[in-house]
Chain A
């Protein structure tokens, strides 16, 4: 179970998760049972970008040309908008994706390990025309990229 301790330490840093890692190491909790408890409530329930960045501990991220965000310029259907994020920044360990104008902007957050390339393809709901933002963490620093998607039919309405 040594792998899990390493993984948590590398991915999340020490600190409040130390106790959890110890439980995993002791075999009390299996990783599949543990991960659900770690949903970042503060970041996912934040109602604006500033709150999400705070929840992620990202501060004020800078820009980096190695962070590539691919979104359509115009989405005819806001219910299914393909978003691709690729980071070529060395030592990228996580990618977060935000939709600025959605009621709860943070859409997804991925931690990568054991050979996973820092890339993610997702499909998001956009309630209206909005900036889509990607935030990555590399070598302890955060970087951000953003692009606007024009939505002609929203994806969050009834």
Chain B
């Protein structure tokens, strides 16, 4: 259902700069449709970033994160070729996990 995330992990010295774009509606539950009915909340609640098998960022997300969320993090001690795995789970239980190697 959801599109693959776009992940970039670029090494600068010994710090990996990780940016990710997640395709998600991030519906707040505050909006109404044309018929005046409230559109139910549908948003990413949890996300993790793993580098070389270790969780480096454990995130919890609320409804005020923008549609198609973009996050940026920096991880010290990463090496070229380290596997970066990013995962999310939303409030309806949909989930997605994508990976990229540090370049």
CB distance from A1 to the nearest CB of B (A): 12
Q: Which residue of B lies closest to A157 (CB)?
A: B31
Given A11-B58, A112-B57, A119 contacting B74 (CB threshold 8 A):
yes
How far is it, in angstroms, between the C-alpha of A94 and the C-alpha of B59 when the chains are bound? 9
* B55 proximity list for chain A (CB < 8 A): 7, 31, 113-114
Count of interface residues, chain A, beta-carbon cutoff 8 Å: 45
* A111 proximity list for chain B (CB < 8 A): 57-59
Q: Which residues of B contact A (CB under 8 A)?
A: 15, 19, 26, 28, 30-33, 45-46, 48-49, 51, 54-67, 69-78, 87, 89, 95, 97
14 A-B pairs in the complex with CB atoms less than 8 angstroms apart:
A32-B97, A104-B64, A108-B62, A109-B60, A110-B58, A111-B57, A114-B54, A116-B73, A117-B76, A119-B72, A120-B72, A121-B72, A125-B66, A127-B30
Q: Which residues of A contact B (CB under 8 A)?
A: 3, 7, 11, 31-32, 35-36, 38-40, 44, 79-81, 84, 99, 102-117, 119-127, 155-158
Report the 4 A-B pairs with minimum CB-CB distance, sorted nearest first: A121-B72, A116-B56, A115-B77, A36-B89
